[in-house]
Amino acid sequence: MMAAERGAARNTLDAYRRDLVDFAGFLKRRGRALEAADATNIRDYLAAIRGAGNKAATSARRLSTLRQFYAFLLAEKVRDDDPAHIIDAPRKGQALPKYLGEEEVERLIAAARAQEGADGLRTVALVELLYATGLRVSELVGLKLTNIARDGQTVTVIGKGSKERMVPLSDPARDAVSAWLAGRDGPKKGPGTGFLFPSGARAGHIPRAAFNDLLKVLAAAAGIDPARVSPHVLRHSFASHMLAHGADLRSLQQLLGHADISTTQIYTHVLDERLKRLVEQHHPLAKL
């Protein structure tokens, strides 16, 4: 059925076969046939997988195999029930955000400042703006001149769900934007007119992929593995460093444009580290 009706790839079929053989072996040791398993057997099997030190993703994949197998048996009238249908999938742990250290960001900015000409000014403005605001890359490259306040103190962003937010700019970011505006060779007419970072691309502004490639070049020049650097990593770096220096989650939520604070809470690992340092530095028994 998987091959003929769903066109599953050979690797997928092999993975399903391995999962079913493994579960069949588990059941055989308990005197139960594969087609006769009940919900308790499946729960015990998943518990055994977890007990063996496997990740939640492994348990989730095995359960997916069993769900499809017993749904097939039910459809073919081999069974009159589906024991896997009522089993909840194990929750997968949320990966911590990847971010650069503060010294690494400084090296990245230094590499940008080493570039010359109008392209160098643009590079510095892009990197300084991203690290100063934590904008999404689409928000950054799509900025228009009108998004920058006249006094240069803030930038107005239209984020997800067409929600508008205002983000303050740091002094280095303001200076970088001013230098770029004074020295850029942007188009006076055409599709790029009005964009802060215009280009000849169809959208009228520098493409996201082009900026990502630019960051890879900067990373190599700064002695950082390019695989570790991307626009989103710099967004994570902004958020992580803000929390490390005392920002609260609610403020960070507004700056990042998160609709739900639970999204912002992925950065609480930084708070944990800061609290640990506070205890080590200030608790009277910490030095004993």
Residue 24 lies in a domain: yes
**Residue 97 and residue 232: Cα distance in Å, rounded?**
9
* 141 and 191 share one domain: yes
- Supply 54's token pair: 């496997």
Number of domains in the chain: 2
Specify whether 136 is catalytic.
yes
Instruction: Identify whether residues 259 and 146 lie together within a single domain.
Output: yes
| Single-letter amino acid, residue 233 | V
> CATH no. for residue 269?
1.10.443.10
Please indicate whether residue 45 is annotated as part of the active site. Answer: no
Please give the pLDDT value at position 262. 78
Task: Classify residue 34: in a domain, yes or no.
Answer: yes
For residue 89, the model assigns a pLDDT of 76
Tell me which of 62, 235, 236, 241 is the catalytic residue. 235
Classify residue 57 by burial, with Cβ atoms within 10 Å: 0-12, 13-18, 19+: exposed
pLDDT at 271: 61
Could you tell me if 63 and 121 lie in one domain? no
Active site residue 235: yes
Q: Is 205 considered catalytic here?
A: no
Whether residues 127 and 169 fall in one domain: yes
CA torsion through residues 138, 144, 145, 146, sign? negative
Q: For residue 164, tell me if it sits in a domain.
A: yes
Q: Which of 160, 163, 269, 283 is catalytic?
A: 160
Q: Which residue in the list 113, 184, 216, 232 is annotated as catalytic?
A: 232
Residue appearing with tokens 């007119």 = 193
Q: Does 171 reside within a domain?
A: yes
Is residue 197 located within the same domain as residue 124?
Answer: yes
132 inside domain: yes
Q: Is 107 a catalytic residue?
A: no
181 lies in some domain: yes
Give phi and psi for 29, each to the nearest 5.
Answer: -70, -15
Residue 160's pLDDT is 77
Q: Which residues pair with 195 in a beta bridge?
A: 144
What's the pLDDT score for residue 94? Answer: 58
Among 189, 187, 235, 191, residue whose Cα is nearest residue 211: 235
52 and 158 part of one domain: no
274 with 149, same domain?
yes
Q: Verify that 114 and 66 share a domain, yes or no.
A: no
CA 67 – CA 61 distance, rounded (Å): 10
| Separation CA 228–CA 98 (nearest Å) | 8
267 is catalytic: yes
> Do 35 and 114 have their domain in common?
no
In a domain, 205, yes or no: yes
Q: Please indicate, yes or no, if residue 230 is contained in any of the structural domains.
A: yes
The domain in which residue 178 lies consists of 102-279
CA distance 23 to 267: 38
Could you say which of 62, 107, 136, 241 is catalytic?
136
Clarify whether residues 201 and 110 are in a common domain. yes
For residue 16, the number of C-alpha atoms closer than 13 Å in the C-beta half-sphere is 16
Residues 135 and 270 in one domain: yes
Whole-angstrom distance, CA of residue 230 vs CA of residue 235: 9
How far, in Å, CA of 168 to CA of 153, rounded? Answer: 6
Q: What is the mean pLDDT of each run of 10 residues along the chain (288 residues)?
A: 85 92 96 94 93 87 93 94 87 71 95 94 97 95 94 90 89 96 67 82 92 96 95 94 88 90 77 61 63
Token pair for 238: 């902004």
My answer on whether 66 and 152 are in the same domain is no
